[in-house]
Structure 1
Amino acid sequence: MTQSVLSLPTRQQIRQQVRQRRRGLSARAQRLYARRACARALAYPPIAQARRLAVFLSFDGELNTRPLIDALWRNGQQVYLPVLHPFSRGNLLFVHYSPQTAMTHNVLNIAEPRLDVRAVLPLNKLDTIIVPMVAFDRTGQRLGMGGGFYDRTLQNWRQHGFTPVGYAHDCQQVEALPSESWDIPLPTIITPSRLWQW
């Protein structure tokens, strides 16, 4: 019993393994999976019917959100991107994003819109938030990069009234994740091959 508990991978080991797996996908596979996931996302009512959605810009082998963002724009839906809060460390703001938006890179070297307070939307005005992750398991538990940004954002999602939807490659699924009290499981995760719901 003790042996099996000791042999369970840590959160950091899972992050390393899954990020490596994700980065190992060929450019062709990435394009194919991005198209499949986009089609699945656009068929899901909380995304298809949303007026205002927060999406993330993919990096480090994440499932490419560009086809989804372009499709949302074509459908006349408003897209918002996460921006690191300048004064409240560990928190995110969501800023309107259009093809004309001026971009910058944050301290994590992730592209984000230049902060303009006029373009910030409060969480309770968002309909849906597309959530990135490093890994997920069969119960909807999500493992992020370790900064807790999305855990804080999702903390009271039901009260805010938006729907969180995970967006990931199939290869990011693991059997089970060690969870902490602050981890927020997701009600829905979209992968190229299926829609997971809990």
Structure 2
Amino acid sequence: MSGSHSIHACCLPWQHAILQMFAMLDPALLSRAQLRRTLRQARRQLSPCEQRRAARNLYRQLAQHPVFRRARHIALYLPNDGEIDPQLLLRAAQRRGKATYLPVLNAWPRTKMVFQRIHPTDKLRANRFGIPEPSANPALQRKVWALDLILLPLVGFDSEGGRLGMGGGFYDRSLAYRARRKNCHKPTLLGLAHECQQVKRLAVASWDVPLNATVTDRKWY
């Protein structure tokens, strides 16, 4: 398995065997829905020990990188459904005085997502998918093109910048302007993932927004 995890005392060997089954899947053999189910299952198989280790390693990959250090306005996410956890990066950004943002789903239209500034003491509530988010406040929201860096969750990725999301299209709709503004390079888009979420090559849909890179707990792609 490319980039496979080492087996540690607190991690069960059978979990690694399952992850090896999912490594470097050939997406041509599966529909998008099937690929999502398979990759979501792979990341859910990670133990709490492996999730904590992955979060620490992700932090080490990014915290001192120039892309993260130079960014002043950074959007992140709170993990759900086995996603790799970026909260160490969220807290690091806040300690350094950066403005941090979380995605907030609109009540209407329900297909729209905005980015709202978050502070360490803000209270969060579960949205319709059960993911914590701040109560909507337009005064704290920032246009997506005015962000410096977005750290995106994903279900699957390839080494060419392809990203497979959960299927709701929220990030793709929010970033659709990039297809119209060819010279617009903001924000930098970094997908965050576990190594077991990599596939050989993702089919690109017309609405897919390519990533600048994907960062896992092991390396940059």
TM score, norm. by length of structure 2: 0.82
**Structure 1 match to 2:137:** 116
Distance in 2 (alpha carbons) for counterparts of 1:51 and 1:121: 13
CA contact (8 A) 1:10 1:178 kept: no
Relative to structure 1, is the Cα distance of residues 193 and 96 closer, same or farther in structure 2, using a 3 angstrom cutoff? same
Q: Secondary structure at the match of 2:173?
A: helix
After superposition, give the CA deviation of every residue in 1:156-182 in whole Å (9 maximum; x if it has no partner).
346372111111111110112222111
- The AA in structure 1 aligned to 2:184 is Q
**Structure 2 match to 1:92:** 113
Return 5+ residue gaps in structure 2 as ranges. 1-25
CA contact (8 A) 2:114 2:174 kept: no
After superposition, give the CA deviation of every residue in 1:3-59 in whole Å (9 maximum; x if it has no partner).
xx9x71011111111111101011111111111111111132221111110000001
CA contact (8 A) 1:154 1:164 kept: no
- The AA in structure 2 aligned to 1:116 is N
**Structure 1 match to 2:89:** 68
Q: How many residues align?
A: 191
Distance in 1 (alpha carbons) for counterparts of 2:64 and 2:172: 26
1:162 aligns with 2:183: no
Counting only pairs closer than 5 Å after superposition, residues 79-158 of structure 1 correspond to structure 2 as 79-157=100-178
In the TM superposition, residue 88 of structure 1 has moved relative to its aligned partner by 2.9
Q: Percent identity?
A: 39
- The AA in structure 1 aligned to 2:87 is R
- The AA in structure 1 aligned to 2:116 is V
Distance in 2 (alpha carbons) for counterparts of 1:63 and 1:92: 21
- The AA in structure 2 aligned to 1:162 is P
Of 30, 34, 37, the residue aligned with 1:9 is 30
Distance in 2 (alpha carbons) for counterparts of 1:100 and 1:23: 29
CA contact (8 A) 1:22 1:61 kept: yes
Detail structure 1 runs of 4+ shifted over 6 Å in the superposition: none
TM score, norm. by length of structure 1: 0.91
CA contact (8 A) 1:53 1:126 kept: yes
Of 95-104 and 151-160, deviating more is 151-160
Distance in 1 (alpha carbons) for counterparts of 2:218 and 2:150: 20
**Structure 2 match to 1:181:** 206
Q: Secondary structure at the match of 1:195?
A: coil
CA contact (8 A) 1:37 1:191 kept: yes
Distance in 1 (alpha carbons) for counterparts of 2:145 and 2:170: 17
CA contact (8 A) 1:104 1:113 kept: yes
After superposition, give the CA deviation of every residue in 1:144-163 in whole Å (9 maximum; x if it has no partner).
00010011122234637211
After superposition, give the CA deviation of every residue in 1:103-144 in whole Å (9 maximum; x if it has no partner).
111111111111111111111321111111000012111000
